[in-house]
Amino acid sequence: MSLTGDVCVVTGACGFLGKRLVKLLLEEEKFAEIRLLDKHVQPQFLLSLEDCRGNTKLSVFEGDIRDGDFLRKTCRGVSVVFHIASIIDVIESVEYSEIYGVNVKGTQLLLEACIQENVVSFIYTSTIEVMGPNPKGEPIINGVEDTVYDCALKFAYSTTKREAEEKTLQAHSEVLQNGGRLATCALRPMYIYGEGCRFLLGHMGDGIGNKNVLFRMSLPEARVNPVYVGNVAVAHLQAARCLQDPRKRNEIGGKFYFISDDTPPISYSDFNHVMMSPLGFSIQEKLLLPLGLLYVICFFLEIVCVMLRPFKRIVPPMNRQLITMLNTPFSFSYQKAQRDLGYAPRYTWEEARKGTVEWLASQLPLERERRAK
């Protein structure tokens, strides 16, 4: 189903995935208008889109996703919303009220704005972390959407993203102001990597500070299946095309889909090494400390931080849930997305790795300079 002539909104348009999706939308479809919603839209990003913009109007909407009036203005006359914006936090550095306000309340307000302004399609960017791993570290290997799992989550990020996903799927078939129906779906990407990934950049910086030796925080057998950012963007476009197709709306509406690709299953730490070994980085052979001891240390750190909270907020660099996430085999299939959405990875593992390594290489001198200060 073509989206030619439609008007769409991309929230978090200047983020890692948002930028890639906006560029893809310009290259693949002839939208009448793409509205870029973010707290701040960099002028250089807009300039970078000139060569592929064509006749599509690019409109900037800078504001707070917790502002209902702002969202109604942004959604007026829109047919498709890609909701990517959220606060990602796995070390509990952000106050719960802040992360809840953006991830949950912001999503609820955006859904309400869509209903009030007659937006017909809503694609929510969820995350694999709404599934787990749970605190017990129970593994999933090549899981599917019907996989039964005890999702006893602890991260504020995980719980707020799960609640926002539930609100999105429950809003499917809500009656719009004009009598039409809203169609929604959610995409659950694995750990997203690629050009612009701040997590990879952070690991590279830590490695520089450790004399070009990457820290090992994952056991080699704790394999996950990261997904390339370009393929995640393709999945979003495919979902939008399906939701706009009257024959497909009810088939995929109200459902979630795991999004992975053909990146080989590998542990988080070994994945960092695969990406950075061409740049001269090695990796520690073993964990910094035995896994059980790491749990104990994090447990006591969490107790100390709670005791000090009335006087000073301290955020430890690690916590038990993060250690569990890094050391649990957790991988999922994209077969249902392939079957229902027509999604297929556009970029091979070799292409994704090459692009990511080249980007990291371009950032290496800057990161060395920053770490030297």
Share of the chain above pLDDT 70, in %: 100
Token output for 32: 């009448």
| Residue 198 pLDDT | 94
| Residue 307 pLDDT | 85
Better-predicted residue by pLDDT, 316 or 146: 146
226 within 8 A of 218, measured Cβ to Cβ: no
Q: Which tens digit of pLDDT belongs to each residue from 266-310?
A: 999 999 999 999 999 999 999 988 999 998 998 888 888 888 888
Q: Which tens digit of pLDDT belongs to each residue from 23-66?
A: 999 999 999 999 999 999 999 999 999 888 889 999 999 999 99
For 196, left (φ over 0), alpha (ψ -120 to 50), or beta? left
Q: Which residues pair with 10 in a beta bridge?
A: 36, 82
Delineate the domains of the chain, giving CATH numbers in brackets: 7-198+225-265+330-349 (3.40.50.720)
Residue 90 has pLDDT above 90, yes or no: no
Please list the active-site residues.
161
254 within 8 A of 169, measured Cβ to Cβ: yes
CB neighbour list of residue 47: distance below 8 Å, 6 or more residues apart: none
Token output for 339: 């079957």
Share of the chain above pLDDT 90, in %: 83
Q: Which residues pair with 125 in a beta bridge?
A: 187
Q: Which tens digit of pLDDT belongs to each residue from 58-85?
A: 999 999 999 999 999 999 999 999 999 9
pTM of the model: 0.95
Segment 314-331 mean pLDDT: 90
Residue 3 has pLDDT above 90, yes or no: no
